[in-house]
Amino acid sequence: MKNAPSGWRARAAATFAAVMVLALAAPAHALYPDKPVKLIVPFVAGGGGDILARTMMAKVQEALGQTIIIDNRGGAGGNIGTAAAARAEPDGYTLAYGTNGTHAINQSLYASTSFDPVKDFEPISRLSKIALLMVVNPQSLPVNSPAELVAYLKANPGKVNVATAGQGTSSHLASEMFKTATGTEFLTVHYRGGGPAMVDMISGQMHLMIEIMPNAFPQVNGGKLRGLAVSTETRWPATPAIPTIKESGIPLTVSAWDAIFAPKGTPKEVIVTVNAAIKKALADPELQKSLLSRGARATPSAPEELAAHVASELPRWGAVVKASGAKSE
Protein backbone atom coordinates (compact mmCIF):
# COMPACT_ATOMS: atom_id res chain seq x y z
CA MET A 1 0.00 0.00 0.00
CA LYS A 2 2.83 2.35 0.93
CA ASN A 3 4.47 2.06 -2.51
CA ALA A 4 1.21 1.77 -4.49
CA PRO A 5 0.54 4.41 -7.17
CA SER A 6 -1.35 7.42 -5.89
CA GLY A 7 -4.18 6.83 -8.39
CA TRP A 8 -4.72 3.29 -7.11
CA ARG A 9 -4.75 4.53 -3.51
CA ALA A 10 -7.35 7.18 -4.39
CA ARG A 11 -9.60 4.62 -6.08
CA ALA A 12 -9.24 2.22 -3.15
CA ALA A 13 -10.10 4.98 -0.69
CA ALA A 14 -13.16 5.96 -2.73
CA THR A 15 -14.34 2.34 -2.89
CA PHE A 16 -13.86 1.91 0.87
CA ALA A 17 -15.80 5.10 1.56
CA ALA A 18 -18.67 3.99 -0.67
CA VAL A 19 -18.84 0.60 1.06
CA MET A 20 -18.89 2.27 4.49
CA VAL A 21 -21.71 4.61 3.42
CA LEU A 22 -23.80 1.65 2.30
CA ALA A 23 -23.01 -0.29 5.45
CA LEU A 24 -24.02 2.60 7.66
CA ALA A 25 -27.14 3.41 5.64
CA ALA A 26 -28.57 -0.12 5.53
CA PRO A 27 -29.43 -0.46 9.23
CA ALA A 28 -31.34 2.84 9.17
CA HIS A 29 -34.03 1.32 6.93
CA ALA A 30 -33.89 -2.10 8.56
CA LEU A 31 -34.51 -0.60 12.00
CA TYR A 32 -37.72 1.25 11.10
CA PRO A 33 -39.43 1.99 13.32
CA ASP A 34 -36.80 2.55 16.01
CA LYS A 35 -38.93 4.97 18.03
CA PRO A 36 -42.66 5.55 18.69
CA VAL A 37 -44.84 6.38 15.68
CA LYS A 38 -47.46 9.12 15.97
CA LEU A 39 -50.86 8.60 14.38
CA ILE A 40 -52.88 11.78 13.93
CA VAL A 41 -56.57 11.01 14.45
CA PRO A 42 -58.40 14.15 13.23
CA PHE A 43 -61.31 13.73 15.63
CA VAL A 44 -61.87 14.38 19.31
CA ALA A 45 -61.17 11.61 21.81
CA GLY A 46 -64.10 9.36 22.65
CA GLY A 47 -65.87 9.54 19.28
CA GLY A 48 -66.50 6.59 16.97
CA GLY A 49 -63.47 7.21 14.77
CA ASP A 50 -61.17 7.60 17.75
CA ILE A 51 -62.45 4.42 19.40
CA LEU A 52 -62.09 2.46 16.19
CA ALA A 53 -58.58 3.77 15.54
CA ARG A 54 -57.44 2.89 19.06
CA THR A 55 -58.96 -0.60 18.83
CA MET A 56 -57.07 -1.42 15.64
CA MET A 57 -53.83 0.38 16.42
CA ALA A 58 -53.41 -1.60 19.65
CA LYS A 59 -52.89 -4.67 17.44
CA VAL A 60 -51.02 -2.87 14.68
CA GLN A 61 -48.37 -1.65 17.12
CA GLU A 62 -47.80 -5.24 18.23
CA ALA A 63 -47.22 -6.28 14.63
CA LEU A 64 -45.05 -3.21 14.00
CA GLY A 65 -42.97 -3.82 17.11
CA GLN A 66 -43.19 -0.20 18.21
CA THR A 67 -45.56 2.03 20.18
CA ILE A 68 -48.16 3.99 18.20
CA ILE A 69 -49.15 7.22 19.94
CA ILE A 70 -52.63 8.53 19.15
CA ASP A 71 -52.64 12.30 18.63
CA ASN A 72 -56.23 13.61 18.58
CA ARG A 73 -56.62 16.84 16.62
CA GLY A 74 -60.32 17.41 16.07
CA GLY A 75 -62.06 20.26 14.30
CA ALA A 76 -63.51 21.30 10.94
CA GLY A 77 -64.81 17.81 10.18
CA GLY A 78 -61.32 16.34 10.43
CA ASN A 79 -59.64 18.96 8.23
CA ILE A 80 -57.43 20.45 10.95
CA GLY A 81 -55.75 17.20 11.94
CA THR A 82 -55.54 15.90 8.38
CA ALA A 83 -53.91 19.11 7.15
CA ALA A 84 -51.37 18.84 9.99
CA ALA A 85 -50.58 15.27 8.95
CA ALA A 86 -50.11 16.37 5.33
CA ARG A 87 -47.49 18.92 6.46
CA ALA A 88 -45.61 16.48 8.71
CA GLU A 89 -42.10 15.26 7.97
CA PRO A 90 -42.38 12.32 5.54
CA ASP A 91 -40.11 10.05 7.58
CA GLY A 92 -42.64 7.43 8.66
CA TYR A 93 -42.98 8.69 12.22
CA THR A 94 -46.18 10.64 11.59
CA LEU A 95 -49.10 8.83 9.97
CA ALA A 96 -52.70 9.88 9.33
CA TYR A 97 -55.96 8.16 10.17
CA GLY A 98 -58.26 9.01 7.27
CA THR A 99 -61.92 8.35 6.55
CA ASN A 100 -64.48 8.83 3.81
CA GLY A 101 -65.06 12.18 5.52
CA THR A 102 -61.52 13.53 5.43
CA HIS A 103 -60.48 11.97 2.12
CA ALA A 104 -63.71 12.25 0.11
CA ILE A 105 -66.66 14.19 1.59
CA ASN A 106 -64.76 17.26 2.76
CA GLN A 107 -63.35 18.03 -0.67
CA SER A 108 -66.86 18.89 -1.88
CA LEU A 109 -68.24 20.17 1.41
CA TYR A 110 -65.62 22.80 2.26
CA ALA A 111 -64.45 25.72 0.16
CA SER A 112 -60.92 24.79 1.26
CA THR A 113 -59.55 21.92 3.34
CA SER A 114 -55.87 23.01 3.20
CA PHE A 115 -54.87 19.59 1.86
CA ASP A 116 -55.36 17.39 -1.20
CA PRO A 117 -56.31 13.78 -0.37
CA VAL A 118 -54.47 12.46 -3.42
CA LYS A 119 -51.51 14.80 -3.95
CA ASP A 120 -50.56 15.26 -0.28
CA PHE A 121 -50.67 11.65 0.92
CA GLU A 122 -49.18 8.22 0.31
CA PRO A 123 -51.89 5.55 0.72
CA ILE A 124 -50.88 2.67 3.00
CA SER A 125 -53.93 0.45 3.63
CA ARG A 126 -57.65 0.47 4.21
CA LEU A 127 -58.69 -0.58 7.70
CA SER A 128 -62.42 -1.28 7.81
CA LYS A 129 -65.87 -0.83 6.30
CA ILE A 130 -68.20 0.75 8.83
CA ALA A 131 -71.95 0.41 9.22
CA LEU A 132 -74.15 3.25 10.50
CA LEU A 133 -76.88 2.72 13.07
CA MET A 134 -80.11 4.70 13.43
CA VAL A 135 -80.62 5.28 17.16
CA VAL A 136 -83.21 7.13 19.24
CA ASN A 137 -83.53 8.07 22.87
CA PRO A 138 -86.42 5.81 23.97
CA GLN A 139 -87.65 8.28 26.60
CA SER A 140 -87.75 11.39 24.40
CA LEU A 141 -88.69 9.71 21.11
CA PRO A 142 -91.16 6.81 21.61
CA VAL A 143 -90.73 4.91 18.33
CA ASN A 144 -89.69 1.32 17.68
CA SER A 145 -89.03 1.17 13.94
CA PRO A 146 -88.05 3.37 11.00
CA ALA A 147 -91.69 3.30 9.82
CA GLU A 148 -92.90 4.58 13.19
CA LEU A 149 -90.14 7.20 13.13
CA VAL A 150 -91.22 8.52 9.73
CA ALA A 151 -94.84 8.71 10.90
CA TYR A 152 -93.79 10.59 14.04
CA LEU A 153 -91.60 13.02 12.07
CA LYS A 154 -94.44 13.80 9.65
CA ALA A 155 -96.83 14.38 12.54
CA ASN A 156 -94.28 16.60 14.31
CA PRO A 157 -92.36 18.48 11.58
CA GLY A 158 -89.33 20.38 12.86
CA LYS A 159 -89.81 19.23 16.46
CA VAL A 160 -87.31 16.36 16.56
CA ASN A 161 -83.65 17.15 17.34
CA VAL A 162 -81.23 15.17 15.19
CA ALA A 163 -77.58 15.06 16.24
CA THR A 164 -74.58 14.72 13.92
CA ALA A 165 -70.89 14.26 14.62
CA GLY A 166 -70.23 17.48 12.70
CA GLN A 167 -70.89 19.29 9.45
CA GLY A 168 -70.19 16.96 6.54
CA THR A 169 -69.59 13.82 8.57
CA SER A 170 -71.11 10.48 7.62
CA SER A 171 -73.80 10.99 10.28
CA HIS A 172 -74.67 14.40 8.85
CA LEU A 173 -74.96 13.26 5.24
CA ALA A 174 -76.83 10.09 6.25
CA SER A 175 -79.42 12.23 8.06
CA GLU A 176 -79.72 14.50 5.01
CA MET A 177 -80.19 11.46 2.78
CA PHE A 178 -82.83 10.16 5.19
CA LYS A 179 -84.63 13.52 5.14
CA THR A 180 -84.69 13.52 1.33
CA ALA A 181 -85.76 9.87 1.09
CA THR A 182 -88.65 10.30 3.54
CA GLY A 183 -89.76 13.88 2.87
CA THR A 184 -89.54 14.72 6.58
CA GLU A 185 -88.35 17.79 8.47
CA PHE A 186 -86.32 17.95 11.68
CA LEU A 187 -83.82 20.19 13.49
CA THR A 188 -80.23 19.23 12.74
CA VAL A 189 -77.65 19.96 15.44
CA HIS A 190 -73.93 19.61 14.62
CA TYR A 191 -71.43 18.62 17.30
CA ARG A 192 -67.65 18.59 17.32
CA GLY A 193 -67.44 14.83 17.16
CA GLY A 194 -69.53 11.76 17.81
CA GLY A 195 -68.59 11.58 21.49
CA PRO A 196 -70.21 14.87 22.56
CA ALA A 197 -73.23 14.14 20.34
CA MET A 198 -73.73 10.77 22.00
CA VAL A 199 -73.64 12.36 25.46
CA ASP A 200 -76.61 14.56 24.55
CA MET A 201 -78.37 11.64 22.86
CA ILE A 202 -78.19 9.68 26.11
CA SER A 203 -79.38 12.65 28.17
CA GLY A 204 -82.39 13.11 25.90
CA GLN A 205 -81.51 16.59 24.62
CA MET A 206 -81.08 14.98 21.20
CA HIS A 207 -83.71 12.57 19.94
CA LEU A 208 -82.31 10.88 16.83
CA MET A 209 -78.94 10.13 15.26
CA ILE A 210 -77.70 8.01 12.34
CA GLU A 211 -74.18 7.42 13.59
CA ILE A 212 -71.33 5.04 12.83
CA MET A 213 -71.84 1.83 14.78
CA PRO A 214 -68.55 1.95 16.73
CA ASN A 215 -69.94 5.01 18.51
CA ALA A 216 -73.64 4.14 18.60
CA PHE A 217 -73.93 0.41 19.22
CA PRO A 218 -72.26 0.34 22.67
CA GLN A 219 -75.03 2.69 23.86
CA VAL A 220 -77.68 0.38 22.39
CA ASN A 221 -76.00 -2.67 23.85
CA GLY A 222 -75.92 -0.93 27.23
CA GLY A 223 -79.64 -0.13 27.09
CA LYS A 224 -79.16 3.64 26.94
CA LEU A 225 -80.42 4.08 23.38
CA ARG A 226 -82.71 2.10 21.06
CA GLY A 227 -81.34 0.82 17.75
CA LEU A 228 -83.92 1.04 14.97
CA ALA A 229 -82.01 -0.01 11.85
CA VAL A 230 -78.59 -0.39 10.22
CA SER A 231 -77.63 1.47 7.07
CA THR A 232 -75.98 -1.38 5.17
CA GLU A 233 -77.43 -3.36 2.27
CA THR A 234 -77.93 -6.44 4.45
CA ARG A 235 -78.28 -6.96 8.19
CA TRP A 236 -75.08 -6.62 10.18
CA PRO A 237 -73.61 -10.00 11.26
CA ALA A 238 -73.17 -8.95 14.90
CA THR A 239 -76.71 -7.53 15.19
CA PRO A 240 -78.97 -9.87 13.15
CA ALA A 241 -82.10 -8.81 15.05
CA ILE A 242 -81.77 -5.19 13.91
CA PRO A 243 -83.28 -4.68 10.40
CA THR A 244 -81.83 -2.51 7.65
CA ILE A 245 -83.26 0.91 6.86
CA LYS A 246 -83.97 -0.41 3.37
CA GLU A 247 -86.18 -3.20 4.78
CA SER A 248 -88.61 -0.52 5.96
CA GLY A 249 -89.09 0.66 2.41
CA ILE A 250 -86.77 3.67 2.78
CA PRO A 251 -84.30 3.82 -0.14
CA LEU A 252 -81.20 4.50 1.93
CA THR A 253 -78.00 2.44 1.96
CA VAL A 254 -74.74 3.96 3.16
CA SER A 255 -71.50 2.90 4.86
CA ALA A 256 -68.31 4.61 5.97
CA TRP A 257 -64.67 3.53 5.83
CA ASP A 258 -61.29 4.33 7.33
CA ALA A 259 -57.65 3.91 6.30
CA ILE A 260 -54.06 4.80 7.10
CA PHE A 261 -52.06 7.31 5.06
CA ALA A 262 -48.60 8.86 5.24
CA PRO A 263 -47.39 12.31 4.14
CA LYS A 264 -46.40 12.45 0.47
CA GLY A 265 -42.76 11.49 0.00
CA THR A 266 -42.65 8.91 2.78
CA PRO A 267 -40.11 6.20 1.79
CA LYS A 268 -41.48 3.12 0.05
CA GLU A 269 -39.87 0.87 2.67
CA VAL A 270 -41.95 2.55 5.36
CA ILE A 271 -45.17 2.11 3.38
CA VAL A 272 -44.42 -1.61 2.88
CA THR A 273 -43.56 -2.12 6.56
CA VAL A 274 -46.68 -0.41 7.91
CA ASN A 275 -48.91 -2.11 5.33
CA ALA A 276 -47.59 -5.52 6.38
CA ALA A 277 -48.21 -4.70 10.06
CA ILE A 278 -51.79 -3.63 9.33
CA LYS A 279 -52.54 -6.78 7.34
CA LYS A 280 -51.08 -8.97 10.08
CA ALA A 281 -53.08 -7.16 12.78
CA LEU A 282 -56.37 -7.26 10.88
CA ALA A 283 -55.96 -10.99 10.23
CA ASP A 284 -56.28 -11.64 13.97
CA PRO A 285 -59.60 -13.47 14.59
CA GLU A 286 -60.18 -11.81 17.96
CA LEU A 287 -59.70 -8.34 16.48
CA GLN A 288 -62.05 -9.18 13.60
CA LYS A 289 -64.66 -10.34 16.10
CA SER A 290 -64.21 -7.18 18.17
CA LEU A 291 -64.55 -4.99 15.08
CA LEU A 292 -67.74 -6.72 13.96
CA SER A 293 -69.25 -6.22 17.40
CA ARG A 294 -68.49 -2.52 17.05
CA GLY A 295 -69.95 -2.25 13.55
CA ALA A 296 -66.79 -2.48 11.46
CA ARG A 297 -65.52 -5.19 9.13
CA ALA A 298 -61.76 -5.58 8.57
CA THR A 299 -60.84 -4.67 4.98
CA PRO A 300 -57.04 -4.36 4.66
CA SER A 301 -55.70 -3.55 1.21
CA ALA A 302 -52.61 -2.89 -0.86
CA PRO A 303 -51.57 0.78 -1.13
CA GLU A 304 -52.59 0.76 -4.80
CA GLU A 305 -56.05 -0.51 -3.92
CA LEU A 306 -56.52 2.27 -1.37
CA ALA A 307 -55.43 4.84 -3.96
CA ALA A 308 -58.04 3.53 -6.41
CA HIS A 309 -60.68 3.49 -3.66
CA VAL A 310 -60.09 7.15 -2.78
CA ALA A 311 -60.21 8.10 -6.47
CA SER A 312 -63.64 6.45 -6.80
CA GLU A 313 -65.01 7.79 -3.50
CA LEU A 314 -64.29 11.44 -4.26
CA PRO A 315 -66.93 11.80 -7.01
CA ARG A 316 -69.39 9.45 -5.28
CA TRP A 317 -69.52 11.42 -2.03
CA GLY A 318 -69.27 14.66 -3.97
CA ALA A 319 -72.59 13.82 -5.59
CA VAL A 320 -74.14 13.13 -2.16
CA VAL A 321 -72.91 16.45 -0.81
CA LYS A 322 -74.26 18.30 -3.84
CA ALA A 323 -77.67 16.59 -3.58
CA SER A 324 -77.90 17.41 0.13
CA GLY A 325 -77.08 21.08 -0.43
CA ALA A 326 -74.65 20.93 2.50
CA LYS A 327 -71.86 23.52 2.55
CA SER A 328 -69.30 24.59 5.12
CA GLU A 329 -66.73 27.35 5.16
pLDDT for 28 equals: 41
Which of these three, 225, 248, 271, is where a domain ends? 248
Asked if 192 and 84 sit in the same domain, the reply is: no
Q: Would you say residue 28 lies in a domain?
A: no
Asked if 54 and 101 sit in the same domain, the reply is: yes
Burial of 258 (0-12, 13-18, 19+ CB in 10 A): buried
216-239 residue pLDDT tens = 998 999 999 999 999 999 999 888
Which of these three, 214, 248, 282, is where a domain ends? 248
**pTM greater than 0.75:** yes
- Burial letters for 295-307: b for 16+ Cβ neighbours within 10 Å, e otherwise? bbbbbbbebeebe
Q: Would you say residue 267 lies in a domain?
A: yes
- 22: pLDDT strictly greater than 60: no
255-270 residue pLDDT tens = 999 999 999 999 999 9
pLDDT for 134 equals: 98
- 21: pLDDT strictly greater than 50: no
Asked if 320 and 262 sit in the same domain, the reply is: yes
Asked if 283 and 298 sit in the same domain, the reply is: yes
Q: Could you tell me the pLDDT band of residue 307, with boundaries at 50, 70 and 90?
A: very high
Q: Would you say residue 300 lies in a domain?
A: yes
- 3: pLDDT strictly greater than 80: no
Q: What percent of the chain has pLDDT over 70?
A: 91
How far is residue 128's CA from residue 133's CA, in Å, rounded to a whole number? 16
Q: Give how many domains the chain has, as a whole number.
A: 2
Q: Would you say residue 186 lies in a domain?
A: yes
Asked if 149 and 80 sit in the same domain, the reply is: no
Asked if 224 and 136 sit in the same domain, the reply is: yes
Asked if 109 and 152 sit in the same domain, the reply is: no
- List the CATH number of the domain containing 217: 3.40.190.10
Asked if 145 and 114 sit in the same domain, the reply is: no
Compare 198 and 168 and report the one with higher pLDDT: 198
Which of these three, 203, 218, 248, is where a domain ends? 248
How far is residue 261's CA from residue 101's CA, in Å, rounded to a whole number? 14
How far is residue 216's CA from residue 257's CA, in Å, rounded to a whole number? 16
Asked if 81 and 230 sit in the same domain, the reply is: no
Asked if 221 and 143 sit in the same domain, the reply is: yes
Q: Would you say residue 214 lies in a domain?
A: yes
How open is the CA angle 252-254-258, to the nearest 5 degrees?
170
- List the CATH number of the domain containing 118: 3.40.190.150
Q: Is the dihedral of CA 120, 126, 128, 134 positive or negative?
A: positive
Out of 109-113, 164-168, 298-302, 314-318, pick the least confident: 164-168
Determine the average pLDDT of the residues in 145-174.
93
- 278: pLDDT strictly greater than 70: yes
Asked if 136 and 243 sit in the same domain, the reply is: yes
Task: Write the secondary structure of 175-197 as one string of H (helix), E (strand) and C (coil).
Answer: HHHHHHHHCCCCEEEECCCHHHH
pLDDT for 293 equals: 84
Domain of 138, in residue numbers: 131-248
Asked if 175 and 311 sit in the same domain, the reply is: no
